[in-house]
């Protein structure tokens, strides 16, 4: 008998048995997209966003510039330029693009075609490393300028709007999940490169962000809201003491590079004051094959950013993005990649996933906070030496933050399953198959590449190889593509299927005009809607 000695358990009340209500706006957010926190708090939160985006901004040039033939001075200037352009792009996106609190920063998607340009035969015989660096940089600039046209055309022509109209909560879920979870290689594997620094940062972040708010009720919102500002200085100081104390004196060069606080070479290499300007490396050079490869990366970044924008709209407690607004944001992101090409950042732009996760951690989805962080990016990119101090934070500290932020973004994908029927086998096969292939296909491509030194597609046409290898190495792209394809081809017109995939929940957001909240969250500033109406 179930109840044991005291008779049967009381029957549950009726309201306990009803499932959680469906919410098209995320509840529990302290400051939503249109409500800014008080100025002092907003400035601190903005600085925190700046610190978080520094990780990717430093890691990518640190990996690429030495391969190009550049020295520490070149590396510092590339990082400054990437920061400067990220600040401009973030402002453009938050004022004229989707208007979401999304930071637009460097993107790992563009690294593969950039490495392909570095390895191109025409640069191999250049004896002078600095001249080689300049020539390769101009080559990447040309490729980025051409590749930006893809997002500008697809976004501003409304083509992406028509694609997004067929996106349902069911096909959006695997895309958003793998936009976050698909970056697992940048999480703990990077923490473990210097585990004595990375692990304390990870543990402290969990304590400050998750446990302390429930233990100390007086300062509840301070701990989770400013967890990054509390923990980074503690672990950074600890890393500095280890460095000064000689803990790494006899360590391998690799360990020293990841663990020491004085190994980045940025503080010495950075100028005191320098304003990045277009064509600072010289006139861009163009190569058709490289431009095609960069276009493939641009297309993959477009799909990944779509998933990231959907996650950001969720954590900003806004309504789901109307397709026309999403398309507008993609167009402006294309302009961002054009600016990358003109200024010479050596890398394209997409939505920063870590900053999207920070919105969830702080529960502050305010647009103003991200605009303030863009101000910090521009300010510190011009004052090189001061910016270089923060940029010399060891990378395992950032990797520890990524473990939490990427997880938050991935978990936003689960939110969309509340609109779907999880008891339907159609839902199960689309969800499971797309998620599995999204992990499995890129795993094959990455494994093959790490063993053979080149991707599975290995023809004489290098640009074709790059296109296929770039597309199928992106977990979010594969998962999103498979889910979108299956969801729009299996019994799509069946009325019960329409409900199963959650399509009816997003009906009122398919057009900009049908829900009054869209105007509140996404309308352009300065009455620009009169000139650029959204449909």
| Burial class of residue 11 in the structure, from the number of CB atoms within 10 Å of its CB (0-12 exposed, 13-18 middle, 19+ buried) | exposed
Which ranges constitute the DSSP H helices of 416-515?
425-452, 462-472, 475-487, 495-500
Rounded to an integer, what distance in angstroms lies between the CA atom of residue 261 and that of residue 237?
Answer: 9
Stated as kind and residue range, the H or E segment containing 186 is none
Q: What are phi and psi of 366, to 5 degrees?
A: -75, 140
Closest-CA residue to 429 (of 360, 483, 509): 483
Rounded to an integer, what distance in angstroms lies between the CA atom of residue 160 and that of residue 323?
Answer: 8
Q: Is residue 28 classed as helix, strand or coil in its secondary structure?
A: coil
Rounded to an integer, what distance in angstroms lies between the CA atom of residue 82 and that of residue 404?
Answer: 24
Please give the mean pLDDT across all residues of the chain. 91
Rounded to an integer, what distance in angstroms lies between the CA atom of residue 243 and that of residue 357?
Answer: 30
Strand partners, 273: 383
Rounded to an integer, what distance in angstroms lies between the CA atom of residue 507 and that of residue 91?
Answer: 30
Rounded to an integer, what distance in angstroms lies between the CA atom of residue 274 and that of residue 380?
Answer: 10
pTM over 0.85: yes
| Burial class of residue 361 in the structure, from the number of CB atoms within 10 Å of its CB (0-12 exposed, 13-18 middle, 19+ buried) | buried
CA torsion 359→365→366→367, rounded to 10°?
80
CA torsion 46→47→48→50, rounded to 10°?
90
CA torsion 136→144→468→188, rounded to 10°?
80
Quick one: the chain helix, strand, coil %, rounded to 5? Answer: 70, 0, 30
Rounded to an integer, what distance in angstroms lies between the CA atom of residue 258 and that of residue 400?
Answer: 13
Cβ 337 vs Cβ 96: under 8 Å: no
Give pLDDT, residue 1: 47
Q: What are phi and psi of 274, to 5 degrees?
A: -155, 130
Give pLDDT, residue 106: 94
**CA-angle at 453, arms to 449 and 458, nearest 5°:** 75
Give pLDDT, residue 438: 97
Rounded to an integer, what distance in angstroms lies between the CA atom of residue 53 and that of residue 337?
Answer: 17
Residues (pLDDT < 50) of the chain are: 1-3
- State the distance between the two ends of the chain, measured CA to CA, in whole angstroms: 62
Rounded to an integer, what distance in angstroms lies between the CA atom of residue 336 and that of residue 26?
Answer: 29
Rounded to an integer, what distance in angstroms lies between the CA atom of residue 422 and that of residue 420?
Answer: 6
Rounded to an integer, what distance in angstroms lies between the CA atom of residue 120 and that of residue 178?
Answer: 31
Signed CA dihedral, 63, 69, 73, 78: sign only: negative
Q: How many CB atoms lie within 10 A of CB 135?
A: 20
Rounded to an integer, what distance in angstroms lies between the CA atom of residue 529 and that of residue 525?
Answer: 8
The tokens for 477 are: 């792209």
Rounded to an integer, what distance in angstroms lies between the CA atom of residue 348 and that of residue 333?
Answer: 10
Q: How many CB atoms lie within 10 A of CB 454?
A: 14
Stated as kind and residue range, the H or E segment containing 36 is none
Beta-sheet strands, E only, within 252-373: 349-351
DSSP 8-state assignment for residue 529: G
| Burial class of residue 499 in the structure, from the number of CB atoms within 10 Å of its CB (0-12 exposed, 13-18 middle, 19+ buried) | middle
């Amino acid at each position: 008998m179930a109840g044991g000695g005291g008779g049967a358990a009381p029957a549950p009340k009726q309201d306990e048995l009803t499932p959680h209500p469906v919410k098209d706006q995320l509840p529990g957010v302290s400051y939503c997209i249109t409500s800014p926190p008080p100025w002092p708090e907003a400035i601190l939160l903005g600085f925190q966003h700046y610190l978080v985006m520094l990780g990717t901004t430093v890691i990518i040039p640190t990996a690429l510039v030495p391969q190009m033939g550049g020295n520490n001075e070149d590396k510092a200037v590339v990082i400054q330029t990437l920061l400067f352009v990220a600040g401009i792009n973030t402002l453009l996106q938050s004022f004229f693009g989707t208007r979401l609190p999304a930071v637009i920063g460097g993107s790992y998607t563009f690294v593969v075609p950039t490495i392909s340009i570095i390895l191109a035969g025409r640069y191999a015989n250049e004896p002078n490393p600095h001249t080689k660096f300049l020539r390769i940089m101009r080559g990447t600039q040309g490729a980025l300028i051409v590749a930006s046209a893809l997002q500008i055309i697809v976004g501003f022509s409304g083509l992406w709007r028509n694609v997004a109209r067929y996106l349902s909560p069911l096909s959006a879920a695997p895309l958003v999940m793998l936009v976050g979870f698909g970056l697992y290689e940048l999480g703990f594997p990077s923490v473990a490169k210097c585990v004595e620094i990375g692990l304390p940062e990870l543990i402290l972040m969990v304590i400050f962000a998750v446990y302390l708010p429930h233990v100390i009720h007086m300062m509840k919102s301070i701990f989770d809201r400013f967890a990054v500002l509390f923990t980074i200085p503690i672990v950074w100081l600890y890393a500095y003491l280890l460095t000064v104390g000689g803990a790494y004196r006899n360590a391998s060069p690799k360990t020293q590079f990841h663990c020491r606080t004085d190994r980045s070479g940025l503080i010495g290499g950075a100028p005191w004051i320098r304003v990045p300007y277009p064509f600072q490396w010289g006139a861009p050079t163009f190569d058709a094959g490289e431009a095609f490869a960069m276009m493939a990366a641009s297309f993959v970044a477009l799909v990944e950013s779509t998933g990231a924008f959907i996650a950001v709209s969720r954590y900003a407690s806004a309504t789901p993005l109307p397709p026309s607004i999403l398309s507008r944001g993609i167009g402006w992101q294309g302009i961002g990649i054009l600016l990358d090409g003109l200024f010479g950042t050596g890398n394209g732009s997409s939505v920063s996933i870590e900053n999207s996760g920070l919105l969830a951690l702080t529960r502050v989805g305010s647009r103003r906070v991200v605009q303030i962080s863009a101000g910090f990016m521009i300010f510190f990119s011009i004052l090189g030496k001061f910016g270089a101090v923060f940029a010399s934070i060891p990378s395992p500290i950032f990797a520890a933050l990524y473990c939490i932020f990427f997880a938050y973004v991935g978990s936003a994908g689960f939110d969309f399953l509340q609109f779907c029927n999880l008891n339907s086998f159609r839902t199960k096969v689309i969800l499971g198959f797309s998620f599995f292939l999204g992990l499995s296909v890129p795993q094959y491509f990455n494994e093959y590449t790490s063993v053979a030194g080149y991707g599975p597609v290995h023809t004489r046409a290098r640009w074709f190889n790059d296109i296929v290898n770039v597309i199928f190495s992106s977990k979010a792209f594969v998962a999103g593509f498979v889910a979108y394809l299956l969801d729009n081809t299996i019994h799509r017109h069946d009325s019960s299927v329409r409900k199963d995939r959650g399509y009816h929940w997003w009906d009122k957001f398919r057009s900009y005009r049908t829900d009054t909240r869209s105007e509140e969250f996404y309308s352009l500033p300065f009455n620009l809607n009169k000139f650029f109406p959204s449909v």
